[in-house]
Amino acid sequence: MDTTATTILIFGASGDLTRRKLIPALFNSYRKGRLPEQFHIVGFARRPWDDDEFRELLREGMLEFDPEAFTAEKWAEFVLHITYFQGNLDTPADYADLPDYLAKLENGPVNRLYYLATAPEFFIPIVQNLGTADMVGEADGWRRLVVEKPFGHDLQSAQELNRAIHAVFAERQVYRIDHYLGKETAQNILYFRFANTIFEPVWNRNYVDNVQITVTESVDVGRRAGYYDQAGVMRDMFQNHLLQLMSLIAMEPPTSFAADAVRNEKAKLLQAIRPLPLSDTVRAQYAGYLQAEGVADGSQTPTYAALKLHINNWRWQGVPFYLRSGKALARKNTELVVVFQKPPHLMFDAIADTDFSSNVLSICIQPDEGIHLRFEAKAPDSTRTDSVDMEFHYKSAFKGNSLPDAYERLLLDALRGDASLYTRSDSIEAAWRLIDPVIQGWEQDPEAPPMVTYDPGSWGPAEAEKLLQRDDCAWVLGCMEHADS
């Protein structure tokens, strides 16, 4: 690793993300000896705190969000690297003292990671202020920018944000976060597909009947209604997480694991998704959403959606990809399911008329991380077949290796200069190109499917079941069926 000192400057450091995710991730990397030998973490925010108050807040955050990793001894060492700088994110004058403040702390050449952990309206002002304060030049060490989601509210605002960033930073300096890509199990999709030989030959239209991506959450909008009511499930989950998962499961093999080789294939895949008719969409809101504090009267914001997508390429022609996600559902569960075609000819008379199950491969992203392959076996002492399961659970296969939080991996990658798990501007724009017309259609097209309501704690509206029934299919919850109890 580069031995130059490194400063991680977190904008919006008084917010929840810093306490909940960033500091626990950095602390874990520190105790594993993975941070650069010399480093500083500087929190930039408006509140009139001093270093000690800021550090105390972070300590409480550690105890609340990652108590198992916390040890007073390690923390006492770690916290000495943390300081606080008070300033308004969008006041250029408040950046005037920042270079001197940092120079005193750093005392020599330094690499710097600027992390935008703020509300999105501050992204452009911060970037411009960094430019004006002359904090982007790399004569003294690298300068990188990590941008949190949401990256834009629609295609136009995403393009504006990209332009504003590129006016100050080169694309190679920019790291756009999608924390789903940092999940171990999401990273494993590429390993599963391309570190093995037996799956890829059947990973196409000749063998696959349909692919399903389910991302359900049991939590409702909670205290985030102010943000959520403006975003809705399409912007909050589909534009980023679900489409990124889809690109991993469907992309062509890259020639190498280098950031651009991987990201070229992902962008190609997203660009090949066919614009979808509104008739292939379902939108829904959970009962009680309208009563949540911060939700506009009569809000038409969907908290659930299901989509049927097609990819215009040789590999996937004719194979539907069904995606669904929502809040206030029965359980938290993220899985990708590949449903294979049924055998072309059934020679087993006794079962010819029964519902012969397809082979199903389920990739469980969370919470019971693993992979399952369902296949048919002869039930003993009968001519029947039964569905059985070959299974892999992280918990039992990698005993003693707990799965690191996505932010731990992503922050380390940004420090190492590896952008493979970060989203490039072309992918972000391709995703908006697909999602924007759906949101607009729902809002403006009288022919759009109406908003339906679902019960909190259910698996979503009946309309989502019908979307698949139309194609003689059904949603599969392969991971839940085989949860490791």
3-class state of residue 21 by DSSP: helix
- Rg for the chain (alpha carbons), in Å? 24
Q: Are 316 and 310 in contact (CB under 8 A)?
A: yes
Closest C-alpha among 342, 341, 331, 319 to residue 214: 331
Smallest distance, ligand BG6 to C-beta of residue 60, A: 21
Burial class of residue 347, CB neighbours in 10 A (0-12, 13-18, 19+) = exposed
- The angle that helices 23-31 and 406-416 make with each other, rounded to 10 degrees, is 70
Smallest distance, ligand BG6 to C-beta of residue 163, A: 24
Distance between CA atoms of residues 192 and 362, nearest Å: 12
Cα torsion 122, 222, 363, 355: sign: negative
Give the nearer residue to ligand BG6 in terms of CB position, either 69 or 98. Answer: 69
Give the nearer residue to ligand BG6 in terms of CB position, either 292 or 319. Answer: 292
| H-state helical runs in 341-477 | 394-397, 406-416, 425-444, 462-469
Q: Count residues contacting ligand BG6 (CB under 6 A)?
A: 3
Cα–Cα separations (whole angstroms), residue 165 to 7, 11, 56, 94, 426: 20, 15, 33, 20, 14
413 interacts with ligand BG6 by CB under 6 A: no
Query: Which distant-in-sequence residues (6+ apart) come within 8 Å of 12 by Cβ?
Result: 18, 44, 45, 89, 116, 117, 118, 119, 122
Give the nearer residue to ligand BG6 in terms of CB position, either 217 or 280. Answer: 217
Smallest distance, ligand BG6 to C-beta of residue 149, A: 6
Q: Cite the active site residues.
A: 241
Q: Which two tokens stand for residue 44?
A: 């930039």
Closest C-alpha among 388, 361, 332, 326 to residue 249: 361
Q: What is the DSSP letter of 357?
A: P
Q: Which two tokens stand for residue 173?
A: 């300096």
Give the nearer residue to ligand BG6 in terms of CB position, either 236 or 376. Answer: 236
Give the nearer residue to ligand BG6 in terms of CB position, either 106 or 236. Answer: 236
Smallest distance, ligand BG6 to C-beta of residue 389, A: 24
Q: Which two tokens stand for residue 52?
A: 């000690």
Smallest distance, ligand BG6 to C-beta of residue 434, A: 18
Smallest distance, ligand BG6 to C-beta of residue 247, A: 17
Give the nearer residue to ligand BG6 in terms of CB position, either 236 or 368. Answer: 236
Q: What is the DSSP letter of 234?
A: I
Identify residues 196-255 at the interface with ligand BG6 (CB under 6 A): 217, 236
Site string for ligand BG6, 103-142 (x = CB under 6 A): ----------------------------------------
Closest residue to ligand BG6, judged by C-beta, is 236
**Site of interaction with ligand BG6 (CB under 6 A):** 149, 217, 236
